[in-house]
Amino acid sequence: MIHDISFGQYYPASSVLHKLDARFKIIMTLVLVVGVFFCNSVCSIALAALFCITMMLLSKIPIPTFLKNLKPLIPIIILTFILNIIYVPGEHVIWSVWKFQLTTEALQTAVFIAFRIVLLVIITSFLTYTTTPTALTSAIEDLLKWLKLFKVDVHSIAMMMSIALRFIPTLIDEINKIINAQKARGADFDSGNVIHKLKALVPVLIPLFISSFRRAYELANAMECRCYNGGEGRTKLKTMQSGLKDYIALGVCLAVVSGFILLNMIKIAGVY
């Protein structure tokens, strides 16, 4: 069943990371993601890993929760690893079979890239795990304010995003309910070939579309009853406020990224 999909992935806890301003968290994530691409040596990757582990402990979210995110990426990591080993050119041959040569350079690149993918996933999951979807959308709205200069209706886009996010759990509930109701009438979703399985979805999709439209009309009416007319002159119940801690956190991130760049210059046992 699709009971276990956690969208937005917010993991409730009370930690320093949860309390940071969402806008800063988005910027910090971008800074760190770019930073990870600068990690080109054993030392800087070690620093990044150490930093991620510290953040995991600070977030008070159990570490297996982070690892769960990595699972679907294992095939991609393995594939890039293999491709790198085969295609990266190098001079120091360690081992060779027929036309294939394993070189130190290729091995190094492959390992580094695998590590970088893992680090990227963990860094981005800090953002989604510690920020509620609503905070995330209003932060995006705020960060994209400048687009208004180009006549982009940032408010409407943000409102659509928050409505979409808000309704994902509702729709998942609805889908489960409809699936169960049709199963109670003997519908079979698990056996048969692809065509049979697609056909079996009709009794779920039609009621789902109907109820989605019903919900959309109801929501539109409810919003109009409360005089919603777009972002013009609209204030927020929870205004986002940045404080000293947010600037300190951003400072730490920038320091860590400069650390990555500096550590690239240190050689250990002849390997970068």
Partner 1 sequence: MEILEINNVSYVYSKGTPFEHLALDNINLKIKQGETLAIIGHTGSGKSTLIQHLNGLFKAQSGTVVFQGKDIWADKKNIKNIRFKIGLCFQYPEYQLFEESVYKDIAFGPKNMGLEEDEIRQRVQRAMQYMELPERYIDRSPFDLSGGQKRKVALAGILAMEPDILVLDEPTAGLDPAAKNHLFDLIQKYKEQSGTTVVFVSHSMEDVAKLAERIVVMNDSKVVMEGKPAEVFEHAETLLKMGLSVPEITKVFMKLKKKGYSLPSVYTVEDALQSLQPLIGGMCHDS
Least Cα distance to 111 among 140, 144, 84 occurs for 84
Calculate the CA dihedral of residues 138, 144, 148, 153 and round it to 10 degrees: -50
Q: Does 12 bind partner 1 (CB under 8 A)?
A: yes
Q: Does 177 bind partner 1 (CB under 8 A)?
A: yes
Helix, strand, coil percentages (3-state) for the chain, rounded to 5, are 70, 5, 25
User: Could you count the other beta carbons within 10 Å of the beta carbon of residue 66?
Assistant: 21
Calculate the CA dihedral of residues 130, 133, 138, 143 and round it to 10 degrees: 60
Nearer to partner 1, 6 or 264 (CB): 6
Nearer to partner 1, 206 or 219 (CB): 206
Among 67, 82, 94, 181, binds partner 1 (CB under 8 A): 181
Q: Does 29 bind partner 1 (CB under 8 A)?
A: no
Among 183, 212, 215, 272, binds partner 1 (CB under 8 A): 183
Dist CA 219 CA 233 (whole Å): 21
Which range of residues in 28-36, 92-100, 205-213, 256-264 is near partner 1 by CB under 8 A?
205-213
Dist CA 16 CA 13 (whole Å): 10
Which range of residues in 25-33, 39-47, 104-112, 200-208 is near partner 1 by CB under 8 A?
200-208
Calculate the CA dihedral of residues 221, 209, 162, 155 and round it to 10 degrees: -60
Q: Does 84 bind partner 1 (CB under 8 A)?
A: no
* Spacing of C-alpha 220 from chain mean position: 30
Q: Does 149 bind partner 1 (CB under 8 A)?
A: no
Dist CA 28 CA 32 (whole Å): 6
Among 83, 147, 210, 266, binds partner 1 (CB under 8 A): 210
CB of 174 to partner 1, least distance (A): 8
User: Could you count the other beta carbons within 10 Å of the beta carbon of residue 41?
Assistant: 21
Nearer to partner 1, 5 or 265 (CB): 5
Nearer to partner 1, 188 or 218 (CB): 188
Q: Does 15 bind partner 1 (CB under 8 A)?
A: no
Give the bridge partners for 102, in sequence order: 95
Q: Phi and psi at residue 71, in whole multiples of 5°?
A: -50, -55
Which range of residues in 102-110, 151-159, 181-189, 231-239 is near partner 1 by CB under 8 A?
181-189
Q: Does 218 bind partner 1 (CB under 8 A)?
A: no
Cβ-in-10-Å burial (0-12, 13-18, 19+) of 111 comes to: middle
Among 156, 180, 221, 258, binds partner 1 (CB under 8 A): 180
Q: Does 82 bind partner 1 (CB under 8 A)?
A: no
CB of 132 to partner 1, least distance (A): 14
CB of 211 to partner 1, least distance (A): 6
Give the bridge partners for 103, in sequence order: 93
Would you tell me which residues interact with partner 1 (CB under 8 A)? 3-4, 11-13, 177-178, 180-188, 202-203, 206-207, 210-211
